[in-house]
Amino acid sequence: MKGTHRILLWGVLGIALIFYALPVYVMVINGLKDATSVSLATMWTLPGKLSSGGFAEAWAMLSPNMRNSLVMVIPAALLSSLVGALNGYVFSKWRFRGSEVLFALLLFGFFIPYQAILLPLVRFLQWINLYGTIPGLVLTHVVYGISVTTLIFRNFYINVPNSIVEAATVDGAGVMQTFRKVMLPLSLPAFAVTLIFQFTNIWNDFLFGITVVPNPQSQPITIALNNLSGSFSVDWNVVMAGAVVAALPTALIYLGLGRLFVRGLVSGAVKA
């Protein structure tokens, strides 16, 4: 590429970068100001002296909710990935008459606005005594994650040659044995993609968190951050630091495992 051409390209991309970096800049620099120097008029200015006060206060307020989020997201992501792997295996390697229709009916669950199931869900969770609890949220996320995890694994397993499964069957391996001995060892990349996809989705969820768990002590971090932001008694530097804290887990996953992240979002984007 010619020099002038490249500089022009960098210039345009640099302008775009300002747009994308702006909110991150606002979050970080204002989070690092102390309560006395954070003001509306100086939003764009760098802190005169760095202060960890905002982060310390945000962490004190949000760490219980951070813990709730972790207790929710880890089992939910693991369980829904495992269920997706089993379903994807059957839908790709044990097709039967009508299996495509069943798959489409399952996939439909990924596309509904969850508002349309919200009230019955809440009543149901109250009925089985899981309303207001993290296990209730785990159940919710696993159930509504079935469709997308099944989709990702099905698309992955379709590229595994059928002959491998047939060979195992001829050797006398049962359905589950073939899954455990043949498919699972091949599935590591699909598990990585699905786990990241589900971790991000579930961590970032707001609707289920706020409706299934009304008690602020038990709520996931996204709801706690929103409460923090709406509270007039909390300083602005604390809110910005809180936003960084709430964003950190998924941001770190993205920065560390970006390639798998992109694969997940492309599979989640349904190339059914």
Partner 1 sequence: MPTAAVRLWASRHKALIILVPSLLLTAIFVYGFIGTSFFFSLTNWRTLAVDLSLRDPIWQTYADMMAMPRFQADLRNTVVFTVLFIALAIALGLFLAILLDRQFKGRSFFRSAFLFPYALSFIVTGVVWRWIFNPETGINLFFDMLGINRGLEALGMDPLSPGWTTDPEVILSINQALAALWPGGASFQIEWGIPVALIPVAIAATWQLSGFVMAMYLGGLASIEASVRDAARIDGAGEWRTYRSVIIPMLTPITISTAIILLHVSLKIFDLVFAMSGVGPGFATDVPAIFVFEMMFTAARYNLGTAASIVMLAASCLVIVPYLIHTFKSRE
Tokens of 115: 């508002």
Query: Could you say which residues in the range 144-183 bind partner 1, by CB under 8 A?
Result: 144, 146-147, 150, 169-170, 172, 174-176
260 touches partner 1 (CB under 8 A)? no
Contact (CB, 8 A) for 54 and 35 = yes
CB of 10 to partner 1, least distance (A): 7
At residue 13, φ and ψ (nearest 5 deg) are -65, -35
Q: Encode 227-255: b = buried (16+ Cβ within 10 Å), e = exposed.
A: bbeeeeebbbbbbbbbbbbbbebbeebee
Tokens of 66: 């951070």
48 touches partner 1 (CB under 8 A)? no
**CA–CA dist 49, 54 (Å, integer):** 13
In the set 155, 219, 222, 267, which binds partner 1 (CB under 8 A)? 222
In the set 34, 37, 74, 114, which binds partner 1 (CB under 8 A)? 114
The total of other beta-carbon atoms located within 10 Å of residue 15's CB is 9
CB of 209 to partner 1, least distance (A): 10
109 touches partner 1 (CB under 8 A)? yes
Q: How many CA atoms lie within 13 A of 127 on its CB side?
A: 6
In the set 70, 71, 74, 117, which binds partner 1 (CB under 8 A)? 117
118 touches partner 1 (CB under 8 A)? yes
**Residue the block writes with tokens 């059914």:** 272
Q: Which residue type sits at 176?
A: M
Binding-site string for partner 1 from residue 11 to residue 40, where x marks contact by CB under 8 A and - marks none: -xx--xx-xxxxxx-xx------------x
Query: Could you say which residues in the range 187-216 bind partner 1, by CB under 8 A?
Result: 200, 203-207, 210-211
CA 95 to chain centre: 30
* Binding span for partner 1 by CB under 8 A among 71-79, 81-89, 128-136, 181-189: 81-89
